[in-house]
Structure 1
Amino acid sequence: MTSFTLSDVRERTYKSRDAWWTVFLVDPIAARLVVWTANRTSITPNQITFGAGVLGAGSAVCFALGGWPLLVAGALLFHLSFVLDCMDGKIARLKGTGSVFGGWVDFVFDRIRFFGCMLALLIGQWAATGEVLFLLLAPVVTFLDLLRYLNGAQVGKTRQAMRTQLRAAAEGRESEPADDPENTEPAPAPEGAEAPAAGEDAGAPVVFVEEVLRDNPGLDHDQAHARTAESGARVIDVHQGFTRKFSWYGRLRSALLRSRVRPHLFSGIEFEMFVCVVAPLTALASLAVPGADLVVPVIVLSCAALAAFELLIVYKLWLATRDFAVELARLRED
Structure 2
Amino acid sequence: MPLHLLGKKSWNVYNPENIARVHRDEAQAKAREEEEERRMQEIDAERRIQLLRGEYPSNLPPSIPPAPTETAQPGSYGRPESEFGVFRHKKRRRIAGEDDTDRDIRFAREDAVQYDARRDELLSSGRKGKNREEHVPIVDGTGHINLFTEDMTRQQRAEKNAEAEAEKHKKQRVFEDQYTMRLSNASGFKESAGQTPWYSANSKDAQAPNAMRGTDVWGNEDPLRQEREKARTNANDPLAAMKSGVRGLKNSQRERKEWQKQRLREIEDLERAQRSEHRRRRRRRPHSPDSLNSLEGFSLDKDSRKHSDESHETLRRSHKHEYQEHQRRHRHHHRRHHS
TM-score, normalisation: structure 2: 0.24
Q: What TM-score, normalized to structure 1?
A: 0.25
Relative contact order, higher structure (CA 8 A, sep 6+): 1
